[in-house]
Structure 1
Amino acid sequence: MEKNTKFVNFFDELGKEDVPLVGGKGANLGEMFGTKIPVPEGFVVNVNAYKNFLSTNQGIKEEISKILAETDIHNSAMLEQNTRKIRELIMSVKMPQEISDEIKKAYHKLCGQNDTFVAVRSSATAEDLAEASFAGQQDTYLNIIGEDNVVYNVQKCWASLFTGRATFYRTEQKFDHMQTYLAVVVQRMINSQVSGVMFTASPITGEDVIIIEAAYGLGEFVVGGVVTPDTYLVDKKTTNIIDKKISIQKIGLVKKDGITKQVDINEIYQNAQKLSDDKIKKLADVGKLIEQHYKAPIDIEWCEEYGKIYVVQARPITTIKKEGVEGEKVKEETDEETKANKETNEKKVLLSGFGVSMGIASGIVKIVRDTSELSVIKMGDILVTRMTTPDMVPVMKKASAIITDEGGMTCHAAIVARELEIPCIVGTKTATKELTNESTITVDGKKGLIYEGRIALEGAKKKVKKDAEEQQVQQIMIHSLLITSTEIKGNVDFKEVAEKAVEAGADGVGLLRSEHMFLEIGEHPKKLIEENRKEELVTKIMNGIRDVADVMYPRPVWYRTLDLKTDEFKALKGGENEPEEANPMIGWRGIRRSIDEVEVLKCEFEAIRRLRDDDRLTNIGVMLPMIQHPSEIRKAKELASDIGLDPDKMDFGMMVEIPAAALIIDDFIKEGISFISFGTNDLTQFTLALDRNSAHVAKLYNEHHPAVLKLIDMVIKACKENNVKTSICGQAGSDPKMVEKLIIMGIDSVSANIDAIETIRRVAARVENKLLIESARKNFMDKRINFNKE
């Protein structure tokens, strides 16, 4: 059978000329597989399968085109909403049987007798073209095992062709959405001990050197900028090591117990060089071989398993110019650029970092600490943020320059800035704290310096020409996460916030609020149910939870069931008949309303059941708000069981917000809860009889009040005795002084606001160390006393 007439091709059938059939990734893997380059075995579900999927399911192509035609890609909310509709549409359609059968047959051929773990990676036909870097715009799924799971994840890859960022990129690069086809690579999973990225020329300057980044575990933490890799600079001609920067690595991503999970690195290895000198040279030789084969500088993803090096991806470096790679001296700066450099030398330096994208630009500082603030960025502003994420791309396009607190040479901000050809400085550590909002600054992406005031340039920005002979590769140090016994989680509403939580090193989500999901729907949930639109409600809840649980997996995500107050329900369409309450804060809300209107709670439980069973997002737990009597736990568990959600096989817990819940915590424990979380905002106001919305009594509001602390301490002790996990998700979780007290009491985890995670982790580390030292001293003193007695 000709390779163009079937749905699956093994690597040994493919070469670099097959990009139209299997995409850039698939073609490059096939090309390398036929040489001496070490590539793990695999196959590609080619574009014929995707085309057949679209044509077999009548109307889907037309519906996708219709949604895209109605989408303004520069409207972030509209872009995300409409592309989500397309992804849901693709996942709602059944995979044609003949495609499914061929994928399963290929999987069994790859595995042999026993099912094996594979990586399922998207490979777009527009990916890896010389002038447009589309790499990373579609999804990758790791540690997939079993024929049905492989088929399911192939379809998820197809759906990922229409993420907001991928759709934005294609539109900007003027690619026809309906002529961009997706293939899917299915490749034997390498259980990497060490992995990373290798460039056969500097992606920043074009200098003709080999740059290798290496870290323990799977490579996703390197590409995603989660850990700081070692950086090795190698002379391409001799493979002599020119320079080494060894980084501390405390966490890694590994395959464990059949899933991908974050683990702590043993202290013995945290400061060690990740690759030996011999292996660095061998890897450099592989890079030279690949570059010679392609006759172009290459960006390579590699990994090491049991001492053997494998290449899992290779693509052209799209951000450097030909003359830089060939070693020719780049042309001299223009008069205006020379003038710009002279002016910067006379300006006050405010801050420095690492220049990862060349150019000089002046503009107004816009500090973005939260995804809700993205709308403040106007054309020509300078975006200042802790770290960018893929969904920021539409906003990054408007910026004249980008500055981040963290990041490295291969981090998201660096890659996108080089592609957009705008100056970028990463690794400043403190830009979001030290720069002043609305002030005017100048960014020199070549020198990595930030100056006070504006440089007199024509236009918003001027690129500075690169001189390859002058540039040196700079290693970017990312703040190394402290490892604490107390888990530090995040309070989350949206996917974008979850992504920031991952970047901040959160151990999970201690509070996923449901309220925004219902407010986004815009209609009263009871109205949807009465209009026989229950399935629509379940789907929308699923989408909201999935967005966060997917990003955080396998870290736990505790979903708090609906806790809207009557005055908030009234603002929804269909909420006209909501009762008038004198004080909705202590009225018909939380679990008390959910038990009265069980159909809404059942929809929430049904959404979670499907996500856990069908999407295998087993990291989702349930947290019930406003609990005041054990019978409420009992009733909620019965309702969950009725729809097939077993509360005893998942995290199923409660908020402690009402003093009654704290006072009879033993009775709740007997009902079978796996965790509690303090809602200190409500617990404080209910304990002290204060309305926290009243300005008249605001001065009396105090979460450190002895009565509040006594209730918290009482609950933690009872839970400790019964192996029930304890956490906090109120505002006090972001208060260092309160967190110090909670850790001394013995709390298991703290859920903080995203911008406070780093601070709270430092507090936790300091307090835990202090407790360990005090304990050690006490033991020493006890032994000395006993010794003296003897």
Structure 2
Amino acid sequence: MTVLEWLDRIHPQDRFVVGDKAFYLGQLLQRGYPVIPGFVVRSSILRNFLAEIDWLEPLFSDLSDSALHLDVNNPRQLQAIAQRIRDSIQTAPLPPDWLASFSEAAEELSRQTELSTFILRPSLALQTSRPDNHAFNPEPYATSGLWQSHICSDPVTSLEAGIKKVWAELFRARSLLYWQRCGVKLHQIYLAVLIQPIANAKASGTLNATTDTFEIQATWGLGMSLVKGEVLPDLYRIQAETGTLQDTHLGEKTILYDLAAEALHPQNPLQTQALAESLSTQAVLGDRELQQLVHLAQQLKANIASPYTLEWTIAQPQSTLYLTQVEVQPLPVQHPLALKPPSLEVSVPFLRGLAAAPGQVQTRATAIGPTQTLTEPIVPGRILVVSAIAPEHLPLLQQAAGIIAEQGSLTSHGAIVARELGIPAIVSVQGATRLIQSGEVIFMDGSTGEIYRRDAPAIAPLPRPQLLATPHSYRTSTQLMVNLSQSTSIERAQALPVDGVGLLRSELMVPEILEGLSPWDWLHQGRGAEFAERLQQQIARFASAFAPRPVFYRALDLNINPEGEPLPASQNAMLGLRGTFNCLLNPDLFDLELRAIAQVHQQGLHNVHPILPFVRTVEEFVFCRNRLPLAGLDPERLQLWIMAEVPSILFLLPEYVQAGVRGISIGTNDLSQLLLGIDRNLGVLASAFDGLHPAVLRAIQQLIQTARTCGIPCSICGQAPSLYPELVDLLVQWGISAISVDLQAVPATLEAIAQAEQRIVLEAARRQLHPED
């Protein structure tokens, strides 16, 4: 049986065999274009593999022939079936002869290129309902968000795991949902795996070719930062016919991706590096590289129909230009390189920012400049464009279809709320409030950070995936909790298999009840009792929805002085009068919060527990704890926790426990910024905010282990587990009690926890069976 095809030997009739991505790269390679050599695991191999799996359930016995019947509108069934299929794919071994062929091919590529790291990418082809005519469905499916590529550095063991991971991506719940909504059957999908060596890159990017213009995006290093929307790339616009540079716009390239010299995990050898400011604002492409790209684009334009889109990389150490992908409009095989017709011309975004919350929307905008105030509610369903997402804007997000901000980062409060509400968000968009007018129709893509004007050709958006629940019978020892702030999210969160609310963000919850005033204004106006009552009602909604599961309410962490005035703009909002220090200056507001919690307990809802934010000293904690009896709360019976986000807690945790701390919740956002000296709200530094920095990881490990030694639970509630799924494995190994994540991250985090715990159990069993190893 033939299990693979080499890129340089792909024939025009092999489109179904190797998928579109590999097919077009193979055609280009054979025509002399610079394409890295590689091989393809044939699409038929997946079908054969599925047929050979010893399925435990009859439902999947003829999955290879697309006999899978499920209701995608039943989230629990869909998620459960998808999980069981993926588990079976990833645990079933490949036949030895297949594995030998793949390993030999990888070793041959290593000899040719002197590279030992490989990238495995899905290569998809779709067939119409009339498979006998070998035609392809002309509809442009937005499949880029459905599958991930995988990188591995071991050509034997990790290569096998990587291939199965690519196959398993086809059976994610979001993939099955998407294809059923698009009317595509499983038997119409031909999924091959393209395997190529990968090297570090000087630069990477894209090239969009329209009838008259070449638009080039460029960033330093490998292209993952551009794909993930983590950098603002350089933009070059060039007249296609003459090659004349028409416009240059330098972006903010604050990080780059490259390959670690010695990968900690062979299947994921990628690492990120923060760039110096001089490189961040320096042009990525010089005249020579631009000329190379333009010449290449003109060659393609002369040979194939326009428009088209390329992905390219300049590999190190020789600074060699390679094409890594070409996007085409599938047509009959006698025109193998004919691309999209002019009617589907590639549009050009006029603004870019950091992709903060996924989703796509096209509608009118409401723009609020930095000196403007909003005098009336926004029209529901509009895109809100602001200088920065201030607390007074948070209630507006519930009415907005999307959010665009000139300032902010992936961990800023506005981005967090947008992800919770499920609306797209783009932050760090320079000049947004000046360049976008109220009433203007724009298209925004929160997955890529791109913004288009209304006169751009229509873009077919990827249907927003539903938030799917995994069955509650699928349990783990490590608790999985959810971060919430908006009462409108309660119903969605209730359907998820979570063990409670690990973080109820009060500062993002109270704007809904403050009527545009600050909490201090309510106190000064003599309305403190009314504020406590409203707060009690809000907290009770979350407590009753999740009872008897715990709800950890984090006390207000507002950067406002006790007189109610904001701090001067020159002061760092991330280091101002925050946390429990405000309680020392004026405890009245904290007393109202405690009164609200006590009233919730009086309703019989004893599952609410307070967390003190941004605690700097033991003395601050003791002062706050001593105020509990004044509100009718018993310090000995109440679980009073603290946020572990100020580095001093690393050294003083035993003293905190002795003073009465009953648990800690690690806030990775503040902990990382304080350890690394990076303001997480400053756009130019946002991409250098590395939650996987060795200093951050060691601090987290120390906090978990010290908490275990002291006999208290330790949770983690920052954005790190959501932004860096690989961190979950380490947290479970270190013995974390609970992991609390945003709504959208619950299914993936539950899967990651289960896999991590399974690995630990399996390794322990192996050590018992083979102690000599």
TM-score, length of structure 2 as denominator length: 0.50
**Richer in helix (by share):** 1
Larger RCO (alpha carbons 8 Å, 6+ apart): 2
